[in-house]
Structure 1
């Protein structure tokens, strides 16, 4: 998995919203988007990509709140022993209009697409901009 430093994961080209939207549970269950948003909202630059990916996975596992620190550490090792999708595949920049801005130490902050931080991040020379992965499978620029 790629780690990101001084990088903005910009919303995907086929993101369906024009302003960021806080994800809501689906059928009474917290989705990956809800969990990732909860982890990042109000906590800018505290977590790394690995923290977000692992914690959002762990919170969906039965009995996660009853695990010891050693069990969680072992689960984390097992989780990252196989390849994982990076946050460019997160629903937050793909569907909900949130950019993900990484600082020089690899910690991430939510960045709503309508915010000044997002617009500035698109043009900062010290920030690499990568688009989130597209949701549709069509060719870039092809009409749906």
Structure 2
């Protein structure tokens, strides 16, 4: 699912008080670490589908030359099934990152303590639809 003019707040049960950089000791990085690397390094570069694709090829350790030459094939296989939106990502659920989709659906991260996060979550001038990340635990 791709959003536009939307801001995803951190989950109600998010344990992080501030935006925290996710890390992993595993050789194959988990999806949320790759999402963080891509979005923090290039805000508003990726839309949801392109982010999913980039996370997929990196997570599967597909060589860059291959994912460029086989893009259509890999893309078709990836999107033959449904994928969760970023409301289910560990970034807003556990690590304290709000997610902004601009008018063109491109994505940027904002730390929970940042002025941008505060602007998007509390200002009617921001003109965005507010959603909350999915909770980690049932009520």
Matching residue of 1:56: 55
SS of the aligned residue for 1:47 comes to coil
TM-score by length of 2: 0.91
**Number of matched pairs:** 137
SS of the aligned residue for 1:82 comes to coil
Structure 1 runs (4+) deviating above 6 angstroms are: none
Q: 1:40 and 1:25 mapped to 2: Cα distance?
A: 17
CA RMSD of aligned residues (A): 1.5
1:110 pairs with 2:109: yes
1:4 pairs with 2:42: no
Pairwise CA distance, 1:132: 0.7
Matching residue of 1:20: 19
Pairwise CA distance, 1:74: 1.1
TM-score by length of 1: 0.88
Compared CA separation, residues 95 and 79, structure 1 to 2 (3 A): same
Pairwise CA distance, 1:8: 0.5
Deviations 1:6-35 (CA, angstroms, capped at 9, x unpaired): 110110111111001001123344221210
Q: 1:69 and 1:101 mapped to 2: Cα distance?
A: 27
Pairwise CA distance, 1:81: 1.4
Compared CA separation, residues 25 and 80, structure 1 to 2 (3 A): same
Matching residue of 1:142: none
Unaligned stretches of 5+ in structure 2? none
